[in-house]
Amino acid sequence: MNLHEYQGKEILNSFGVEIQRGILAHTAEEAVTAAKKLTGDTGTVWHMIKAQVHAGGRGKGGGVKLAKSLEEVRDIAGQIIGMNLITPQTSAKGKKVHQVLVAEDVYYPGDSEPEEYYMSVLLNRASGRNMIMYSTEGGMDIEAVAEETPHLIFTEKIDPTVGLLPFQARRIAFNLGLSGKAFGEMVKFVIALYTAYVKSDSSLIEINPVLKTSDDRVIAVDAKVTLDDNALFRHKDYEAMRDIREENPIEVEAKAVGLNYVDLDGNVGCMVNGAGLAMATMDLIKQAGGEPANFLDVGGTADAERVEAAFNLILKDPNVKAILINIFGGIVRCDRVAQGIIDAYKNMGNINVPIIVRLQGTNADIAKDLIDNSGLDVQSAIEFQEAADKVQAVLA
Ligand code: GDP
Ligand code: MN
């Protein structure tokens, strides 16, 4: 589950991570009130107005702006709220902004220049360990840094049996070129950040930029936090942070009816029982020259009701040109699934894309007879390759 910047910062701060403080606002007037409350502003303090959407690169799209007076707070918040924000990380359609974070300006002048760093905590799947990835090149596109100057990205792998050790946090502060007070602040920051990652059951925390202020404080200016859905049951308070306006509407609906659905860009809808078979089916579709429009695991009980719910979801996607149903009848009998498909098809009455059904396992032959004699625009297959060929034929 993805979070907004303001929610991510709230969680981080609860574990002692220093942040750029801010208050959420839904209207221009609320933004002014927030600014006054945040900084006690009488018109001389600067604020950042930051669009809250689930996408990075907001600054580039005009969703993060500096306001140098309360009038500017009102104007800029009014501009950003309701805008359609297009960033390098959104689709071409962009994302509607419903709310902004009114944050304190932390790039104030002082004894030294503010410095921006990059830092993230994530699981390194190759080594099976959490790692902290960091760079002196903060504030910019980290993918570009990785491409052009990979030697400026450092990693610190963490041994799960002992956790992050103090010397590792010191090594990070050292590699970032810090000394004196800022060095100590960075060590504290890294330790708190890693604690937050572990205790919140996050799968990714990315802070870009981490800022060393002109008076040597170290704070998170931005926060991208992704929580592990499988651990959400342990965090009821985080569960309430879900903002379904930011999520794919078909995926939200699938979740509500208990189907495991991931929206993809292709043209062949798939309905499969079991995640492994679903992935193999997606490979099959690619081999046949198609692109999967979705991942959909209907689970063990593929009855008419579930099949109909699944059809409904798949057909919401206008790109779908064909549907491949691939069900292995282990516990569930193929003939029951076939009957479920036929019932759902007739019941819906508005299916206008060809359907290829591959049923394998218990009573597969009876199932094939049912499908073949149904009189519907549904083709049956028993073998994997046969199904692939039929998909290829309908796409041609
Ligand atoms: P992103 O564009 O979605 O990654 O949003 P960020 O939260 O990273 O903000 C974008 C950029 O705005 C940052 O990289 C900073 O350069 C700038 N910025 C953020 N906070 C402040 C601030 O308090 N003062 C100033 N002057 N600039 C800021
Ligand atoms: Mn950022």
pLDDT digits (tens, 9 = 90+) for 335-357: 988 998 899 889 888 888 999 99
Query: Residue 295 forms beta bridges with which residues?
Result: 262
The pLDDT value recorded for residue 99 is 98
How much of the chain exceeds pLDDT 90, in percent? Answer: 77
Residue 258 tokens read as 């208990």
**If you take atom 10 of ligand 1, which residue's CA is the nearest one?**
59
* Residue 347, domain CATH: 3.40.50.261
In angstroms, the Cα distances linking 9 to 22, 105, 225, 254, 300 are 9, 16, 8, 29, 39
Note the pLDDT tens digit of each residue in 112-155. Answer: 999 999 999 999 999 999 999 999 999 888 999 999 999 999 99
Q: Is the pLDDT of residue 49 over 80?
A: yes
The best mutation among 48, 49, 137, 214 to test binding of ligand 1, ranked by most ligand atoms within 8 Å of the C-beta, falls on 48
The pLDDT value recorded for residue 103 is 98
208 inside domain: yes
| pTM listed for this prediction | 0.86
Note the pLDDT tens digit of each residue in 244-262. Answer: 999 989 999 998 888 999 9
Q: Is the pLDDT of residue 26 over 90?
A: yes
The pLDDT value recorded for residue 147 is 93
Spacing, Cα 20 to ligand 2 middle (Å): 12
244 inside domain: no
pLDDT band at 183 (very low <50, low <70, confident <90, very high): very high
Q: Which residues are catalytic?
A: 118, 206
Residue 376, SS3 per DSSP: coil
Q: Is the pLDDT of residue 300 over 80?
A: no
Nearest to 142 by CA among 204, 214, 217: 204
Cα–Cα–Cα angle for 269, 272, 277, nearest 5°?
Answer: 115
pLDDT band at 229 (very low <50, low <70, confident <90, very high): very high
Q: Are residues 189 and 229 in the same domain?
A: yes
**Rounded distance between C-alpha atoms, residue 234 and residue 232, angstroms:** 5
Does residue 139's CB lie within 6 angstroms of at least one atom of ligand 1?
yes
Spacing, Cα 46 to ligand 1 middle (Å): 13
381 inside domain: yes
34 inside domain: yes
Which residue would you say has higher pLDDT here, 49 or 384? 49
Q: Is the pLDDT of residue 304 over 90?
A: no
Note the pLDDT tens digit of each residue in 365-391. Answer: 999 999 999 999 899 988 888 998 999
Q: Are residues 357 and 223 in the same domain?
A: no
Q: Are residues 273 and 208 in the same domain?
A: no
Residue 367, SS3 per DSSP: helix
Q: Is the pLDDT of residue 66 over 90?
A: yes
Q: Are residues 83 and 162 in the same domain?
A: no
Q: Are residues 274 and 335 in the same domain?
A: yes
The pLDDT value recorded for residue 331 is 79
pLDDT band at 303 (very low <50, low <70, confident <90, very high): confident
Does residue 62's CB lie within 6 angstroms of at least one atom of ligand 1?
no
The pLDDT value recorded for residue 348 is 84
Q: Which atom of ligand 1 is nearest to the CA of 208?
A: 8
Average pLDDT, the chain: 93
13 inside domain: no
Does residue 64's CB lie within 6 angstroms of at least one atom of ligand 1?
yes
Spacing, Cα 120 to ligand 1 middle (Å): 17
How many folded domains does the chain comprise? 3
Ligand nearest to the CA of 97: 1
386 inside domain: yes
Q: Residue 368 is which amino acid?
A: K
Does residue 384's CB lie within 6 angstroms of at least one atom of ligand 1?
no
Structural domain including 331 reads 249-395
How much of the chain exceeds pLDDT 70, in percent? Answer: 100
Residue 126 tokens read as 């190759």
**Rounded distance between C-alpha atoms, residue 204 and residue 202, angstroms:** 5
* Residue 36, domain CATH: 3.30.1490.20
The best mutation among 2, 54, 64 to test binding of ligand 1, ranked by most ligand atoms within 8 Å of the C-beta, falls on 64
110 inside domain: no
Of 54, 75, 104, which residue constitutes the final position of a domain?
104
The pLDDT value recorded for residue 23 is 98
Residue 259 tokens read as 């189907």
Q: Is the pLDDT of residue 202 over 80?
A: yes
Phi-psi region of 282 (alpha: psi -120 to 50; beta: other; left: phi over 0): alpha
Does residue 21's CB lie within 6 angstroms of at least one atom of ligand 1?
no
Spacing, Cα 306 to ligand 1 middle (Å): 46
* Residue 158, domain CATH: 3.30.470.20
